[in-house]
Amino acid sequence: MSSRWGNFKENGNVRSGRIHFVNKMGKLEKSFDAHKGAALQARWSPDGTGLLSCGEDGAVKLWSRNGMLRSVIAQMPSPVYWYFYTHQYYTLRLYLQSPPLKWKAHDAIVICCDWSLVSEHIVTGGEDCKFKIWDRFGRNLFASVVCDFPISSVAWSPNGQCFAVGSQNILRLCDKAGWPHSLEKLGSGGSLLSLCWFDDATQLVAGSGSGQVIHAQIVGRTVESGGLEVVQTKRNMLEVRDLNVDLAQETLETRDRITHTSLAHNQLIVVTTSQLYIYSSKNWNTPVIVDVKDKTIALVQQASRLFLVSDGQTVLVFNYDGRSLCEVKVPGNGTSNISEKTIALSNDVLAIRDRGETSTICFFDPTSGRA
């Protein structure tokens, strides 16, 4: 059984279909009957107010934090192995009273799936040894070739730029369009049954059927702009190449692990786990360094005179001298993080889409933060 948790974690009894609420101290708080047969998965909603479960009886049920049944979302004729809960579209479906979409995804059992909140695309994996990408209307965007083994796990990165695919002793990294970037053979770990990304989308952890836990990190990421190419060669090292000059390159090293890079307007922004490095193409040797502790930066956007960084909930605007200009909280009461699709920056205006009212765009002065 797979699970995610906030204050409580849920644990299913395979034979009885019961779900147990266990607090962070390991104390059993509550148990209740959830399904006939095994409870195959349970997940908390993004805001932690509800729990969704599925089981061998084909039912998908919504529960309150106290374990009270709110509704049966779906009743399928066969076991439900996997689902992804996004509160926004569940609420929208109830409001419009529209039936759920259903389509044939694979020629065999669908073993795993995941939903990207950024791109709103779905990736699925099945016993037919294929993984596929769909839009939210059920239209197929990509289908892989037949792999050697059934696909046992898939997971989108938090920024929606790539996803990971797990199967028997194999871990694949694919871009958001579905094309594979790398394939790692893991030896004798067995099937990768669960994948979980770090919040900064640079690392992931995989759990295998043999009980092993595998830690993977993305390297070789590349950004380009104006004849410059920046390649991450190690966890804390970058290589800058001038494509207009043969053999012209610089090696940049940071104190901590690099999580994000952005190159535009002859300025390179390097984000680590605790600092921002601001490099000018005129001088790679003396970067401006800014501390950004207690924030996991997932987004960087640049204009010619200033740039922003964001952890998905708060936007920080700086100039290229490293001076903080303003801090803007993302408008709206929603729980989703902002992404490149919902924010835009120029030297004069910062525009952010409201998280609650998605038809509303809020404008701010990037130098002061005033709306």
Instruction: Using 70 as the pLDDT threshold, list the residues of the chain that sit under it.
Output: 1-15, 85-99, 247-248, 334-335
Closest CA to 82 of 99, 106, 47, 98: 106
**352 DSSP β-pair partners:** 343, 362
Q: What are the two backbone dihedrals, phi and then psi, of residue 94, each rounded to the nearest 5 degrees? A: -65, -40
Counted residue by residue, the chain has a size of 371
In this predicted structure, what is the pLDDT of residue 249?
Answer: 83
Q: Quote the pLDDT of residue 91.
A: 39
Q: What is the pLDDT of residue 93?
A: 42
The pLDDT value given to residue 335: 64
What's the whole-model pTM score?
0.77
Cα R_g (the chain), whole angstroms? 23
Indicate the pairing of strand 140-143 with strand 131-134: antiparallel
Beta-sheet pairing, 2-4 with 39-44: parallel
Q: What domains can be seen in the chain, in order of their start residue?
A: 2-217 (2.130.10.10), 219-287 (2.40.10.360), 295-371 (2.40.10.360)
Q: What is the pLDDT of residue 6?
A: 38
Question: Residue 8 — left, alpha, or beta (φ > 0 → left; ψ -120 to 50 → alpha)?
Answer: beta
